Amino acid sequence: MKEFYCHYVGYNKRLDDWIPGSWVILSKDLEWPKPKAPPAPPSKKETAAQKTKVGARKTTKKTKSTPSTRGSATPVPISTPQKRMASTVEPDESQGMEPFETLDLQETQDTTFGDLDAFGEDEDAEGENEPLEGESLMDIDVDGSTYLPDPQKAPPVQSKEQEIEKLRTSGSMTQNVHEIARVKNLNKLQIGKHLVEAWYFSPYPAEFAHLPILYICELCLSYFPSPVMFGRHRKKCKMLHPPGNEIYRHEDISFFEIDGKKQLQWCRNLSLLSKCFLDHKTLHYDVQPFMFYIMCLRDSSGCHTVGYFSKEKESAEGYNLACILTLPQHQRHGFGRLLIEFSYELSKREGKTGSPEKPLSDLGLISYRAFWAEKIMEYLLEHEPTDVSLDEIAHKTSITQADIHYT
């Protein structure tokens, strides 16, 4: 059966989906919504009626005013902007279509779309998922090609610096044409007892693409196309925790430090899995320059991966974090904040200030904004405002001066 890849214009790509061909009407030409006509100028009668109303208001104002202020009373014009209404399109009974509403584009441009917070932080941050400039022109991707409503209006080309700044402040939807053309190739992932829907494209082998469910071992992160193969593997898999050194433990939470050079296969499996939920990162199989810090929840059956962050062994820019992710089934429990704080605790032990690698994802930016603001406020509440400098805050919190200034 033919399927179509559907992208919702103005929304994050994590909502993209494959839809059956039976849902798409191909017997008719595509009709784009027509712009609303400008409001007609008021007629002479309406103008006269408005003047009469204003005159009545002036009379009332003067009547109610005291003798001392009667001469200086100035009427305040009352503006009554016309409220734009959503128009309802009549259903096409011959095609079995349901009625739907079309919204004025001018109204929806400034709307902040609610979004899941991947790291359990501020849910109401403004503008995190707004489309980038030119992104709203993208319509639908079929067979790897990108269609534009108007070929004459191609998205403007941005420099790397402009793109990073736009991503930093407006979300994670990529400007890279090749990334836009990469359609989501996985449906659902079975990770332990959790069934998770993939958000973005991940370069798993072609034979694993478009399966109803891809089965992933929660401990070694190997992937299998069928429950039979997965069950066979689980009987043989003896791994009980990530293959690294446990460097932190508190109650049922543990952190493991893994060298990408020593555990190539495990770290590559982790990168493939995390790419399903990150669209702003490009996956490279060269994991050797990175250290991986895995956060796990311990129980009687072993240590189950909750999230992780990676860090370059030698970063010329002073980044203390390259990539961060909390798996969707463990989001909104504050684990992301713990990952961020752990990265800064490592920087404190090294005696340096650190900053996450840019660009940040939309959800990552929400969490970092909340973390930076909280740490800076904690410091300010403990000191007199006149005695505080950016240098001192950076020294005590290990947050770079640029991030403190930005916050």
Active site residues per annotation? 357
Q: What DSSP assignment string belongs to 326-340?
A: E-GGG-SSSHHHHHH
Q: Give, for 52, the enclosing helix (H) or strand (E).
A: helix 44-64
Helix (H, G, I), strand (E, B) or coil at 61: helix
- CA 112 to chain centroid, in Å, comes to 12
- Buried b or exposed e, range 73-99, using 16+ CB within 10 angstroms: eeeeeeeeeeeeeeeeeeeeeeeeeee
Beta carbons within 8 Å of 294's beta carbon, 6+ residues apart: 242, 244, 255, 256, 258, 270, 305, 307, 308
Identify the CA nearest to 331 among candidates 139, 155, 117. 117
List the beta strands (DSSP E) in 206-300.
213-216, 223-224, 245-250, 253-259, 290-299
Phi, psi of 223 (to 5 degrees): -125, 145
Identify the CA nearest to 136 among candidates 281, 279, 13. 13
